[in-house]
Amino acid sequence: MNVEITFGDIVTCDAEFIVNAANETLLGGGGVDGAIHDAAGPGLLAECQTLGGCPTGEVRVTGAYDLPFNAIIHAVGPIWRGGKHMEAELLYACYQNALKAASALGAESVAFPAISTGAFGFPEQHAADIAVRTCLAWSENQPRKVILLAFDTQSEETLRRSLEKARNG
Ligand code: AR6
């Protein structure tokens, strides 16, 4: 698995599939979710309304509508509540389930935002360690490439630190 860290916006990234940082309603919100819904257009919300939500740690797949991706994988990250409420396990499950969905879709490349590190308050370095380790441990043939997106220079440094740590054992 090739793990790349890229600085940029999820809606303009160069990948076949993108992951959304959604909530259990799947009905949109701010941050990544808001940017994706704004750019995808109302068809996305209409499809999301038929799904009946999604539990934390799981994913659901929709079309990409006005966005140039093959599909959108909506992942519901945990809300940080101090770290003793299965937050790490649930974030790990998000990455794992999104990779599983990407593999089932035959994805060559998939881009992830830093799930749960915005409105949901998950500590950034801890979240980056989980993201990097889950992707590096992925042993199936697809997706071949994972892009971990940093939306500011601090989160880019955080992700790079995690990658270096994971590669050096
Ligand atoms: N592209 C890439 N990364 C982004 C973008 C973007 N356009 N916008 C923000 N980020 P968040 P969460 C970064 O809050 O913590 C929504 O209201 C941001 O800097 O989008 O999982 C949903 O509806 C941060 O590092 O997701 C949910 O209710 C990271 O993406 C809730 O927020 C995640 O921030 C989900 O919260």
Question: Which residue's CA is minimally distant from atom 18 of ligand 1?
Answer: 118
Active-site residue, selected from the candidate residues 33, 38, 66, 152: 33
User: How close is the Cα of 21 to the center of ligand 1, in Å?
Assistant: 6
| Confidence (pLDDT) at 1 | 84
Say if residues 11 and 67 touch (Cβ distance below 8 Å). yes
169 vs 2, 25, 46, 92, 164, CA distance in Å? Answer: 17, 38, 45, 19, 9
User: How close is the Cα of 165 to the center of ligand 1, in Å?
Assistant: 24
Of the residues 9, 32, 148, which should be mutated to test ligand 1's pocket, given the most ligand atoms within 8 Å of the CB? Answer: 32
| Confidence (pLDDT) at 23 | 98
Q: 3-state secondary structure string, 37-100?
A: HHHHCHHHHHHHHCCCCCCCCCEEEECCCCCCCCEEEEEECCCCCCCCCCHHHHHHHHHHHHHH
| Confidence (pLDDT) at 60 | 98
Say if residues 114 and 131 touch (Cβ distance below 8 Å). yes
Query: Which portions of the chain are predicted below pLDDT 70?
Result: none
| Confidence (pLDDT) at 138 | 95
| Confidence (pLDDT) at 68 | 98
User: How close is the Cα of 157 to the center of ligand 1, in Å?
Assistant: 17
Any residues with Cβ below 6 Å from ligand 1, and which? 9-10, 21-23, 29-33, 35, 77, 113-120, 149, 151, 155
Say if residues 80 and 87 touch (Cβ distance below 8 Å). yes
Structure-token match 């971990």, residue found: 148
Q: How do residues 48-95 score in pLDDT, each as one tens digit?
A: 999 999 999 999 999 999 999 999 999 999 999 999 999 999 999 999
Say if residues 166 and 133 touch (Cβ distance below 8 Å). yes
Domains and CATH numbers, the chain: 2-168 (3.40.220.10)
Question: Which residue's CA is minimally distant from atom 31 of ligand 1?
Answer: 119
Known catalytic residue at 33: yes
Structure-token match 């499809």, residue found: 47
| Confidence (pLDDT) at 146 | 98
User: How close is the Cα of 62 to the center of ligand 1, in Å?
Assistant: 18
